[in-house]
Amino acid sequence: MIIAEIKGLQKNYKSTPALKNVTMELNSGEVLGFIGPNGAGKSTTIRILLGIIKSSGGTAKIFGKDVWKDSIEIHKQLAYVPGDVNLWPNLTGGEIIDLFMRLQGTKNNGRRDELIQKFQLDPKKKARTYSKGNRQKVALIAALASNAELYIFDEPTSGLDPLMEAVFQEEVEKLKGQGKSILLSSHILSEVERLCDRVAIIRQGEVIETGTLEELRHLTRYQYRITTKENPVGLKQVSGVHDLVINGNQAVFQADSDRIDAILEAIVPYHVVKLASVPPTLEALFMRHYTGK
């Protein structure tokens, strides 16, 4: 079942386009990583999904309902943590958590207290004294304690220390175990790798790639390092070989994944002594997509 369906979404701010074409889907029970460089349009997309701002074109549906017209219906089953958590300075963290939970429609004090404990938040302090991380904790606790179907997190761990980040990841895995759907915009690669079933990569207002991490890896080239008995000069003629460096009997190159067959055939005559392949790292993958190379 598709929880969120976004097609050709656009947003223009006074003629400058912030979103040009955002197309992606979030399936039921899945964690979708939403990644892209700063200013790519992640928060803008999420704010459209919440009906906080109105799209300039395209469609976006959650639970099969239009995100602008039926926002209230959608919000009944949704929990959200913004990237920039702004709280009322003269209310305490505890009061704000209770308020958010009530307005979200949840009553689960046990879970709330457990989360307050886990995130080590002092709920008696006024929000004005909270650091960015603590403000994020307030929003996270309220969201995680709620019983929603869809959770939207916009860079939720950007102010948390590694320990708290781990707590967050643990909690998201729990939600995943309960079959909840999650849209997670994130910059932390290890977090994406650990939590996300699929990722959508956005750059300059356009989703340029979606798929599982495996699929994305596939789209990029593996690196090969071979040692042969003879100088493998023949590789130069094989299509699908890139960045080839031959050093005596050793060669290093990148290979398109759909050309592996032909490449292997081409190197057999040189008597392969050693062959190693390295999958692209997540960083390499992101770098490639982020910079468009």
Partner 1 sequence: MKNRFNQTGMIFLHTLRRDWLKLLIWTVALSLFAGGFAKSLYEMYGKDPAGLVTMYETMKNPAMIAMLGPTLATAKTYSIGAMYAQEMILFTALVFAIVSIMHVISRTRKEEDDGITELIRSFQVGRLANTTAIVLEMFLLHVVIIAFSTILLQVQNIPGLSFSSNLLYSASLGAQGFLWAMIALIFVQLAAGAGGARGLSFLTIGFFYILRMGTDMSAPDASWFNPLGWSYLVNVYVSDDWFPIVIAFVVSIVFLVISYMLEQARDMGAGYLPERSGRDHAKERLLSLPGLVLRLQKTFIISWLFSLFIAGAMYGSIFGDMDDFVSDNEIMKQMFLHNANYTIQEQFMSVLFVILSLLTTIFIIGSLMKLMNEEKKGRWDQLYATKISRAKFYWYHVIMTFLLGVIGQFAAILGLYLAQRSVMDTPLSLWEVSKSGIIWLPAIFFFIGILAVLIGWLPRFTVVIWGYLIFAFFISYFGQMMDIPEFVTKLDVFSYIPKVPVEEWKWGAIILIKLIALLLIVIGFIGYKKRDLVSE
41 scored as a contact of ligand ADP (CB under 6 A): yes
Smaller CB separation from Mg ion, 34 or 63: 34
Taking every pair of C-alpha atoms in the chain, what is the biggest distance, in angstroms? 76
Choose from ligand ADP, partner 1, Mg ion, none: what does 289 bind? Cβ within 5-8 Å by kind.
Answer: none
Give dist(CA 155, CA 157) in Å, integer.
Answer: 6
Choose from ligand ADP, Mg ion, partner 1, none: what does 41 bind? Cβ within 5-8 Å by kind.
Answer: ligand ADP
In the bound state, the residue with its beta carbon closest to Mg ion is 43
233 scored as a contact of partner 1 (CB under 8 A): no
Total binding residues for ligand ADP by CB under 6 A?
10
Give dist(CA 123, CA 84) in Å, integer.
Answer: 19
Restricting to residues 147-186, which ones interact with partner 1 according to CB under 8 A? 152
42 scored as a contact of ligand ADP (CB under 6 A): yes
The contacts of residue 32 (CB under 8 Å, 6+ apart) are 24, 26, 181, 182, 183, 184, 196, 197, 198, 199, 200
The radius of gyration of the chain's CA atoms, rounded to the nearest angstrom, is 23
Smaller CB separation from ligand ADP, 61 or 203: 203
94 scored as a contact of ligand ADP (CB under 6 A): no
Cβ atoms of 256 and 264 within 8 Å: the answer is no
Region for residue 179 given its phi and psi (left: phi exceeds 0; alpha: psi -120 to 50; beta: otherwise): left
Contact residues for partner 1 (CB under 8 A)? 47, 50-54, 71-72, 75-76, 78-80, 82, 84-92, 94-96, 98-100, 102-105, 122-126, 128-129, 139, 152
